[in-house]
Amino acid sequence: ECVSKKPLGIKGIEGKDWEWRECPNCKGTGKVKVNIIDRSEIYGEDDLAGMRRGRMRDFLDKKKEMYQAGDKPCKRCKELGKIKYSFWSGHDYWFDQQFDEHTTKDDLDRRKNKFWSENIADGGSGKQNKGRDRREFYGKQGRNKRCVWIIPTQPFPEAHFAVYPEGLIEIPIKAGCPEFICKKCGMARVKILEPAEEYKKLLGKSWHPHKHDAERGMSETPDKKASCTAEYKFKGYSDCGCNAGFEPGIVMDIFMGAATSALVALKQRKRFIGIEIKQEYINMANKRIRAVQETLF
């Protein structure tokens, strides 16, 4: 199909990026079947979850009235019977989870009062963690990055009045721009994390704090899993197998200004693309970029 999404006066031919296909949920009918089952006929009246027979019957009759034909509208395709199928075949979005360092000792000291005690109670989870340092409950890698960041201000001597500190853009670039991308297939390398030895022992086990657990042979008191923190160790990076080498990701700033985002990208060994219309800011950006490049390369 002919499109005109390029600069004015230029037209190009692009292939379709999506098409209509039959909805797999309703098989193109726009309706899905409704199973109306009276479970009391299967399991008996004692398993109606506290609902009396009459109330259950009224509920089933009401449901049958709503769907007399036994069908209900398909929510996936909104009764169209078809869905949009995307031809996009690229890689998934890349994201690197960021962490905050624990200030555990400071936090604990701040919360200390006359009721504070280093001794852990015998009951509940304390029975399993008697004599254990409370600071071990926190993962060594830190906690997940929060939505509110404390970023100190940074002075800027040039004549630009909308410059933000480098610390503000460091976190998004680290989290959203990969350092290694395959030159051939474009797949980014991701970190390989494995559970720590102590945490690995607790995986695959379940814990349910219910009163009737003892009757089923389960412990009524919680174990270490109830209070442990997930902890993983970094083992290396993934490899796509192309053996074509890797290159850093690209940070794009469409309002470059004083080029703060470009400076941070360079310091993290990543590439950048900057767009700026004002010549004064372009000169300012080039000056700052050259100063950083001289120290890095």
Instruction: Write the pLDDT tens digit of every residue in 188-206.
Output: 999 888 887 777 776 665 5
**The tokens of 62 are what?**
């009401």
Choose among 238, 237, 262, 239: nearest CA to 251: 262
Question: What does pTM read for this prediction?
Answer: 0.58
pLDDT, tens digit, 9 for 90 and up, residues 27-39: 888 888 776 655 5
- Chain-centroid distance of CA 54 in Å reads 47
CA distance 119 to 179: 46
| Residue 100 burial by Cβ neighbours in a 10 Å radius (0-12, 13-18, 19+) | exposed
* Sequential pLDDT tens for the chain (297 residues): 333 344 444 444 555 677 888 998 888 888 887 766 555 555 555 555 555 555 666 666 666 655 555 577 888 888 888 888 877 666 778 899 888 876 655 555 555 555 555 565 555 555 455 555 554 555 667 778 888 888 888 888 877 777 889 999 999 999 999 999 999 888 899 988 888 777 777 666 554 444 455 555 555 444 555 455 667 788 899 998 889 999 999 999 999 988 999 999 999 999 999 999 999 999 999 999 999 988 886
Sign of the CA dihedral running 285, 287, 292, 296: positive
Helix (H, G, I), strand (E, B), or coil: what is residue 296? helix
Looking at residue 2, its pLDDT comes to: 35
| One-letter amino acid of 9 | G
- Chain-centroid distance of CA 178 in Å reads 16
Residue with tokens 């169209």: 80
**The tokens of 245 are what?**
């080498």
Choose among 140, 146, 152: nearest CA to 102: 140
Name the pairing type of β-strands 2-3 and 12-13: antiparallel
